[in-house]
């Protein structure tokens, strides 16, 4: 088990190197010059050329890539061109908001997806089944930015139930505050995260519900479900303890993969709801061609994704005794 974890962690290194090279290559191909963006439209060609030299942008690509790796080896992600602060510091200030959003969205997606999927499977062919699968179709096909705007228009602008933009206190701080007798802080945080998390979760919830339904329908026909009934167990217990536990196994790995999609979706959702996380940062970094910052963000996303999937694989071995890690 420990050996497996260590081996998986070591595998992160070649993956990270690959990610960096690919991102670097992509940024070389994309037109646009950070020096020009930084100096604005009034700048003379000499000023731009000067700045490019200072930033090291004129060096050949392999020198720049080599220099970046050298920095990384020293634990340094470099400095942002525009914010004149260390990249690690900028990312550190933003990462919490994004992880919070993604985790809440993932929880929502799992909760909604599993519940609807089970209901649809148990009542196959009923109205619940039809409505659920219709919603799932909608959820899969609706782009996140459009759904985000719709939710905002409905719940924030028209109904005025929820705040349209921004973030409350960080969730962990809010929970601490609630425990020390100030529940309104937590309430405020929850109200703020609800719309962006829902917009982000919809797509994954739809995919999970379909998957759970299919998986459940299959498992409900298994012999061991009949055995469970033959023992005299009541239907809810058979469905949850015997069928669902087995039906969730294939779903679990998909939930891990969805986390990657959630991080991608977070870029759009954070823009729409002015959520101060990595997604927003990504957008501005890309539009400004802030190369060190983009590299840092991509690397962070990749590491989070890889770690989440490692956790999922470990969980898999925990819930399915037939799985052997190795």
Partner 1 sequence: MAQLATSTVGAAIAVKDLEIRIRGDRGSYPVVADMALTVERGETLCIVGESGCGKSMTALSLLRLLPDAASASKGSIEINGEDFLAMPERRVEDLRGVEIAMIFQEPLTALNPVLTIGEQIAESVRRHKKLAHKAAMARAIETLQLVQMPDPARRAKQFPHELSGGQRQRAMIALALACDPKILVADEPTTALDVTVQAQILGLISDLQKRLGTALVLITHDLGVVAEVADRVVVMYAGRRVEEASVYDLFEHPIHPYTLGLMGAIPRPVAGRPATERLVDIAGTVPPPWDLPKGCAFAPRCPRASARCHEERPPLEEKRPGHFAACWEHVDA
Nearer CB in complex with partner 1: 142/314: 314
Sign of the CA dihedral running 167, 173, 174, 175:
positive
Q: How far is the CB of 318 from partner 1 (least distance, A)?
A: 11
Are 19 and 299 within 8 A, CB to CB? yes
Cα 1 to its chain centre, rounded Å, is 26
Here the tokens at position 260 are 């990657």
Nearer CB in complex with partner 1: 173/222: 222
Nearer CB in complex with partner 1: 19/121: 121
- Residue 227 near partner 1 by CB under 8 A: yes
- Residue 97 near partner 1 by CB under 8 A: no
Q: How far is the CB of 209 from partner 1 (least distance, A)?
A: 22
Instruction: Name which of residues 8 to 67 contact partner 1 (CB under 8 A).
Output: none
Nearer CB in complex with partner 1: 137/227: 227
- How far apart are alpha carbons 80 and 90 in whole angstroms? 8
Q: How far is the CB of 110 from partner 1 (least distance, A)?
A: 19
Segment contacting partner 1 (CB under 8 A): 113-121, 168-176, 208-216, 218-226?
218-226
3-state secondary structure 88-154: HHHHHHHHHHHHHHHHHHHHHHHHHHHHHHHHHHHCCCCHHHHHHHHHHHHHHHCCHHHHHHHHHHH
- How far apart are alpha carbons 110 and 39 in whole angstroms? 47
- Residue 120 near partner 1 by CB under 8 A: no
Site mask, partner 1, residues 173-212, x = CB under 8 A? ----------------------------------------
Here the tokens at position 122 are 């148990």
Cα 148 to its chain centre, rounded Å, is 16
Q: How far is the CB of 218 from partner 1 (least distance, A)?
A: 13
DSSP type of residue 1: -
Cα 302 to its chain centre, rounded Å, is 11
Site mask, partner 1, residues 228-267, x = CB under 8 A? xxxxxxx------xx--xx--x------------------
- How far apart are alpha carbons 205 and 107 in whole angstroms? 9
Instruction: Name which of residues 283 to 322 contact partner 1 (CB under 8 A).
Output: 319-322
Q: Which residues bind partner 1 (CB under 8 A)?
A: 222-224, 226-234, 241-242, 245-246, 249, 319-322
């Amino acid at each position: 088990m420990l050996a497996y974890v260590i081996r998986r962690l070591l595998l992160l290194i070649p993956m990270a190197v690959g990610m960096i090279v690919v991102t670097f290559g992509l940024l070389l191909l994309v037109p646009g010059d950070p020096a020009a963006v930084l100096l604005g439209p009034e700048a003379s060609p000499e000023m731009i050329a000067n700045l490019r030299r200072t930033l090291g942008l004129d060096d050949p690509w392999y020198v720049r890539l080599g220099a970046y790796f050298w920095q990384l080896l020293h634990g340094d992600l470099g400095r942002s061109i525009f914010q004149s602060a260390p990249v690690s510091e900028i990312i550190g200030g933003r990462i919490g908001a994004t992880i919070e959003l993604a985790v809440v969205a993932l929880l929502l997606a799992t909760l909604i997806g599993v519940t609807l999927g089970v209901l649809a499977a148990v009542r196959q062919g009923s109205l619940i089944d039809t409505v659920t699968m219709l919603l799932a179709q909608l959820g899969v096909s609706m782009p996140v930015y459009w759904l985000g705007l719709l939710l905002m228009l409905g719940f924030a602008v028209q109904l005025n139930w929820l705040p349209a933009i921004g973030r409350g206190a960080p969730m962990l701080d809010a929970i601490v505050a609630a425990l020390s007798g100030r529940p309104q802080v937590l309430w405020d945080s929850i109200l703020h995260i609800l719309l962006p998390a829902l917009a982000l979760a919809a797509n994954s919830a739809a995919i999970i519900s379909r998957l759970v339904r299919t998986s459940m329908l299959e498992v409900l026909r298994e012999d061991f479900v009949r055995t469970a009934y033959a023992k005299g167990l009541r239907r809810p217990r058979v469905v949850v303890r015997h069928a669902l536990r087995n039906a969730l196994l294939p779903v679990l790995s998909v939930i891990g993969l969805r986390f990657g999609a959630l991080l991608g979706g977070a870029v759009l959702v954070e823009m729409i709801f002015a959520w101060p996380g990595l997604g927003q940062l990504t957008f501005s970094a890309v539009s400004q061609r802030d190369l060190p910052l983009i590299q840092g963000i991509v690397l962070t996303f990749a590491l989070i994704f890889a770690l989440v999937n490692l956790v999922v694989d470990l969980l898999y071995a925990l819930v399915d005794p037939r799985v052997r890690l190795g």
